[in-house]
Amino acid sequence: MKFDKEKGKKMKKFILISLVLILNFFITSCSVEPRKTVPEEYKAGQKHYHRICANCHGPDAMGGNRAPKLIQKIYSTDAYSDEKFIQIILNGSNSGSMPSLEGKLSDKEIQQVIKYIRYLQRVSDLTS
């Protein structure tokens, strides 16, 4: 059988692109692992937070490359209600920087995530 050099080049290019795409998928879809140990009553929220939120907001809500840390006075209960968190989670931000997460978390899971964030805020030294 005669080997076609052009087909060989196309095959190599296809394989290379496929490998890059697969590698990119695994790198970007890996969840961020928590760094803090939390009491049992916050573990469900911690699990859901790190599955959905941590890729942008960083491990333990301490900020990431794409979103702010949630351990700041501007997100404390005095300045940022649980209802506001729910609205942003479900609808995304007005600026469009945070997409809607509707359907990615149940109502119960959203409550658990907020409970976890509030716990982290309580045990952290809040700064603006």
CA nearest neighbour of 49 among 40, 41, 58, 39: 58
Instruction: Over range 22-27, report the average pLDDT.
Output: 58
Q: Is the confidence at residue 74, as pLDDT, over 80?
A: yes
Residue 52 pLDDT more than 60?
A: yes
**Is the pLDDT score of 70 beyond 90?**
yes
* Cβ proximity of 88 and 98 under 8 Å: yes
What is the pLDDT confidence band of residue 81, given thresholds at 50, 70 and 90? very high
Output the pTM of the full model: 0.73
Output 55 or 26, whichever has higher pLDDT: 55
pLDDT at 127: 46
